[in-house]
Every structure is written in C-alpha cells, then in structure tokens.
Amino acid sequence: MAECVFCHQTLAGVQDVQPTSVVVTLHAHPACYAEYQKTCPQCNQQLKTPFFSVLKLPGYVCDQCHMFFDTNMRPLAFLP
C-alpha cells in the first residue's frame, strides 16, 4: 500500500510500485495536496498567487527570487 506524502496515512486503492532510479511516484490525498503550500524550488520561500491588475495568469510568484512559475512549477519569467 502507498501512503500520503503529507499526512503519511495509507491511501486506499493505491498499490505502490517497485521504486526505480528513473521514476519516483508520490501519492497524496486531494485534500492534503490542496492544503500544501507551494515553495520556490530555488530559495524555498513560500510562493504567492500572482495578482496583476490586468492579467489573471495561473501560476505562482516568488517575492525573493522575482520568478514567475506556471502551475507545474516551471520557471516562466523573471519579474524585475
């Protein structure tokens, strides 16, 4: 059985596969993942949802690195 990476409780209906050096699978409850605070992969600061007066872009902004990340945590732009 697999366990949630956040609360470490067993996930029902999920069978853990054999770990390989190529693929790492992380499992989480939807509620646990929703509460998870995204952090910057470069400086580990908490990311914020961007608020631009005209644009409503999906993603996250790091105040310390001044980077904009998409919802898949890929850096898209440097914000001066």
pLDDT at 44 over 60: yes
Looking at the structure, tell me whether residues 47 and 77 fall in a common domain. yes
Instruction: Name 78's Cβ contacts closer than 8 Å, sequence gap at least 6.
Output: 66, 67, 68
Q: Is the pTM of this model over 0.85?
A: no
66 and 51 in one domain? Answer: yes
Alpha-carbon 51 to chain mean position: 19
Tokens at 23, concatenated: 């693929």
pLDDT of residue 47: 87
Q: Does the structure show a pLDDT above 80 at 40? A: yes
pLDDT-based confidence at 64, cuts 50/70/90? very high
Instruction: Report CA-CA distances (Å) from 36 to 5, 15, 22, 46, 50.
Output: 11, 23, 25, 10, 17
Please indicate, yes or no, whether residues 31 and 51 belong to a single structural domain of this protein: no
The range of the structural domain enclosing residue 22 comes to 1-36
Query: How many independent structural domains does the chain possess?
Result: 2
